[in-house]
Chain A
Amino acid sequence: MKHRPVQDVSSLPDLAFGPRMTTWWGTLGFCAVEGAGFAMAIGAYLYLVFINGQWPLSAPPPDLLWSGVFTLLLLASLWPNHLAGKGAKAQDLPKVRRTLVIMSLSGVALLGIRVFEFYGLHVRWDQNAYGSIVWLLLGLHTLHVLTDLGDTIVLTVLMFTRHGRGKRFSDVEDNAFYWNFVVITWLPIYVLLYWLPRM
């Protein structure tokens, strides 16, 4: 079939940010999948609360100290994360490097605090269904912190090499976008794990 040119696209950009790029939508897709996973685990938690009546099952409620510190630091990380996204959009390499280093360090600190948080649960996963679901939810969220930290560290190193330009800025922005998801999903889990048993 013969072709009839009707539009020329050579002047279009080859780099853009946010929803104009496919990767942003892919990241959103993964957020949807993982969000659905969180929703299922949260549903299972509430189901177990409902059928048992008494909650938590034969264990004191988990400690508020380290979980509180974790939550505050996690919320605080939203600020450098926002700056990383903004810096990426402006293709401001020094700013991106700086904020990515801060984000990597925050991630490491958060994981460290998370270890103490597990100790403060006062229940093992194999003790009863309460312990199982608490470990599942906390473990699931920890996995998200861990994977995003891995991604952030790789990106940080990348931005200090000669590859730190062009499409990588868009990747930094998507990574910052994903971190918001990690923070937002924590909030309902935090309430469920730490405050629901006290109600």
Chain B
Amino acid sequence: MSELAAGKDVLRDTDLGDAELSARLARTWGTARGIIGALSTVDHKIIGRRYIFTAIFFLFLGGLAAVAMRLQLARPESQLIGPDLYNQLFTMHGTTMMFLFGVPIGEAFAVYLLPLMIGTRNIAFPRLNAYSYYVYLFGGLMIWIAFMLNIGPDTGWFSYVPLAGPENSPGKRVDFWAQMITFTEVAGLAVAIQVIVTVFKQRAPGMTLDRIPLFVWAELVNAFIIVFALPAVVTASAMLIMDRLVGTHFFNPAEGGDALLYQHLFWFFGHPEVYIIFIPATGWVSAIVVTFSRRQAFGYLPLVLSLIATGFLSFGLWVHHMFTTGLPQLGASFFTASSMLIAIPNGIQIFCWIATLWDGRPVFRTPLLFVIGFFFIFIAGGLSGIMLASVPLDTQVHDTFFVVAHFHYVLIGGNVFPLLGAVYYWFPKFTGRMMSERLGKWNFWLAFIGFNIAFFPMHITGLMGMPRRVYTYLPEMGWGNLNLISTAGALILFASFVLFLYNMVTSARSGPLAGDNPWDAGTLEWATTSPPPPQNFDRIPFVTNREPLWAERETLPVVTGLEVNKREILVTTVSEARADVREPSPDPSLWPLLAAIATSITFVASIFTPWAVVWGGALVAITLTGWFWPKSEEDEE
């Protein structure tokens, strides 16, 4: 064998026994040791792990900002936090949760799991994947460092003009916010394209459209929403920063601009954003519900069609965030109707999940508990959402804590509960070890009870008229007790996260070994070891069923004939997934990191001088050329 490898002859997986094949593939697809190796890696699992870890780190930072705000609001006229810091805190909380946690966490799971679930060896454009992670990390660090230096943004997570414009917000705070958008959107768009191409072209042979796992469908629809929604917020934030730095007048009514233009652009992104946060979670829910019901999903086709319908409809709702801006009545009625319409596909999904559980033999392990929690909380949030879709009610409670209660039910219910379930579910695959069930149950009940104690009273404080984004209130308003209860709930919720962290850390070290498929699940990520080897699979699976591992219990059908000493992936056709091309896959490279550093220098420097776009652009071009220039004979193949 070694002669074959040394010579010109091509070494294929058919030439080797199982053990040697595995070892050699691991060498070919592995990441080098040492710091340079770690920074050059293009392994989707390593980058995916970093993505997930970083997004959860930002979740904790955003959570800490929330705890600080809740402590301030616990009693009337509290002097704990002043108005300026409070403004920065709610802006950082919202910004972090939406841009540094909400969008990336869904994509992060896709980066790790998608190639495993569809049976391929790496994500499409693995170097772009590395670049995307670094850009995201640097953008997140930039905004938090700015906050620590007391130049954190203070105009809300949406930075409305005219408040965020050059006249009302001098200084650099809003500029950091606008560039944070640029960083995270570049990263988010890159991953969206990778996801689409991976799902379209790298599915294992036999994985026809109707055999794609529901999680993968969810990530695919999510990627499409990202592709068409994120450019709107990039346009908005680019116009905002130009108004602030180079004297354009996009949002200046005195020179023919318009402040509402900003809101339209922002919410054209901002509403789909809610679904960017929710749709990956539906994928987690589907995976968990199917595995723990011990049966295939009830209503696979309606589930997929509902996802697609939700994706489309999410672009037709944005104006319901602007009901109090004085829109024409016809427009308001239209957006009320479309806001109610989207409840239909979401309702269908929930009924399908319930039917799956109903008809299955549900096993109530921690991941499923979090899904059940999701049902209760998300549906409650959906109900207050239907209330808010009505213009008269929305006008009454606009900018009150009622809205805060509503969207935390939707977002924490719709994303964070499924996320916790997803971590408990896939942790064994990520680390090879199980998380503690006992702590998991404590984690769930603390989170569920804490959440409801924190957020349910906000409906009432809102109806009593307490506005959002005020740093304190007078005792005569009578909001004190409800706020104190909310703060107590927030502390319980935070404690549940501390427990979650503790469970992760201790389980990663000493949890019971998981084996390949601890839940006896049906999708392909469970067909390989835990954690998976660098090559994911020694041979690419051949898919015969929607739940391949349930259909093929004895042996796994596979395809052979790929090269061993060279990174090669199997490219398949879009709809039927017929094997078509053996395409080379890029080797590790330091260039994506260098390009991300050049990009970051450009973005940050452009806050201080517009010329940075020119010289920074040149810097980026140099690093991109280095990235794409072939380095070896293999690269030319």
Write the residues of chain A forming the contact surface with B, with a CB cutoff of 8 angstroms.
1-16, 19-22, 25-26, 29-30, 32-34, 36-37, 39-41, 44, 47-48, 51-52, 57, 125-133, 135-136, 150, 154, 158, 163, 165-168
* Residues of chain A with a CB closer than 8 A to B584's CB: 14, 167
Chain A: minimal CB distance from B279 (Å): 18
Docked pose: A36 CA to B557 CA in angstroms: 42
Residue of B nearest to A171 (CB): B628
- Chain A residue numbers with a CB within 8 Å of B519 are none
**Interface residue? B202 (CB, 8 A):** yes
> Which 3 pairs across A and B sit closest by C-beta, in order of nearness?
A10-B561, A29-B193, A126-B247
Closest A residue by C-beta to B557: A6
- Can you give 23 A-B contacts (C-beta < 8 A)? A3-B558, A4-B556, A5-B558, A7-B542, A9-B559, A12-B570, A12-B579, A12-B580, A14-B637, A22-B571, A22-B583, A25-B197, A29-B192, A29-B227, A33-B193, A48-B256, A48-B257, A128-B249, A128-B256, A129-B255, A130-B256, A136-B239, A158-B629
With a CB–CB cut-off of 8 A, which chain A residues contact B273? none
Contact A37 B247 (CB under 8 A): no
**Residue of A13, A14, A29, A126 contacting most chain B CB atoms (<10 Å):** A29
Residues of B within 8 A of A128 (CB): 249, 255-257
B residues sitting closer than 8 Å to A (CB atoms) are: 12, 14, 18, 124-125, 128, 189, 192-194, 196-197, 200-202, 205, 227-228, 230-232, 234-235, 239, 242-243, 246-250, 252, 255-258, 261, 264-265, 268, 516, 527, 538-539, 542, 549, 554-562, 568, 570-571, 574, 579-584, 621, 625, 628-630, 635-637
Separation of A163 and B200 alpha carbons in the complex (Å): 29
A26 touches B193 (CB 8 A): yes
> B267 → chain A, closest Cβ, in Å?
12
Given A5-B558, A133-B250, check contact A44 B516 (CB 8 Å). Answer: no
With A12-B580, A167-B637 known as contacts, the answer to whether A132 contacts B248 (CB < 8 A) is yes
Docked pose: A154 CA to B630 CA in angstroms: 11
| Cα of A52 to Cα of B555 in the assembled complex, Å | 69
Q: Which residues of B contact A4 (CB under 8 A)?
A: 555-558
- CB pair A167–B636 under 8 Å, yes or no, is yes
Q: Are A48 and B235 in contact (CB under 8 A)?
A: no
| Chain A residues touching B, majority SS | helix
Q: Is A129 a contact partner of B257 (Cβ separation < 8 A)?
A: yes
Q: Which residues of A contact B538 (CB under 8 A)?
A: 3
Contact call B571/A132, Cβ cutoff below 8 A: no
Contact between A22 and B255, CB atoms less than 8 A apart: no
Contacting residues, chain A, for B249 (C-beta < 8 A): 126-129, 131-132
- Within the assembled complex, what's the spacing in Å between the Cα atoms of A130 and B248? 9
Selected contact of B227 from candidates A21, A33, A132, CB within 8 Å: A33
Q: How far is the CA of A132 from the CA of B239 in the complex (A)?
A: 9
Asked if residues B625 and A7 are in contact (CB atoms below 8 Å), the reply is: no
Taking each of A12, A14, A40, which has the highest tally of chain B beta carbons within 10 Å of its own beta carbon?
A40
Q: What distance in Å separates the Cβ of A159 from its nearest Cβ neighbour in chain B?
A: 12
Asked whether A7 and B200 contact (CB < 8 A) given A47-B258, A165-B636, A167-B636, the answer is: no
- Whether B252 lies near A129 (C-beta < 8 A) is yes
CA distance A163 to B581 in the complex (A): 21
Contacts of A39 in B (CB 8 A): 231
> In the assembly, what is the distance between CA of A48 and CA of B248, in Å?
14
**Contact A5 B231, CB 8 Å, known A22-B583, A48-B258:** no
- Write out the residue numbers on chain A whose beta carbons fall within 8 Å of the beta carbon of B189: 33
CA distance in complex: A3, B538 (Å): 9
Please give the distance in Å from A134's CB to the nearest CB on chain B: 11
Q: Which of A10, A48, A133, A166 has most B Cβ within 10 Å?
A: A10
Evaluate whether A11 and B561 lie within 8 angstroms (CB atoms) in the complex, with A48-B256, A125-B246 already known.
yes
Residues of B contacting A44 in the complex (Cβ-Cβ under 8 angstroms): 235, 239, 250, 261, 265
Among the listed A15, A33, A154, which residue makes an inter-chain contact with B625, where contact means beta carbons less than 8 Å apart? A154
C-alpha gap A19/B268 in the complex (Å):
31
Contact, CB under 8 Å: B246 / A126 = yes
- B579 partner residues in chain A, CB cutoff 8 A: 7, 9, 12
Across-interface contacts of B231 in A (CB, < 8 A): 33-34, 36-37, 39-40
A108 nearest CB across to chain B (Å): 15
Using known A-B contacts A26-B197, A51-B258, determine if residue A16 contacts B580 with beta carbons closer than 8 Å.
yes
When the two chains form the complex, which single residue of B14, B232, B248, B582 contacts A13, counting CB atoms closer than 8 Å? B582
A25 touches B636 (CB 8 A): no
- CA gap between A56 and B487 in the complex, in Å: 54
- Given pairs A14-B584, A16-B571, 9 additional interface contacts (CB within 8 A): A1-B527, A9-B559, A21-B571, A22-B583, A25-B197, A127-B255, A132-B249, A167-B636, A167-B637
How many Å lie between the Cα of A22 and that of B127 in the bound state? 14
In the complex, which of the residues A9, A19, A37, A52 has the most CB atoms of chain B within 10 Å of its own CB atom? A9
* B252–A29 CB distance below 8 A: no
Closest chain B residue to A39 by CB distance? B231
Known A-B contacts A10-B561, A14-B568, A125-B248; the reply to A21 vs B556 at CB < 8 A is no
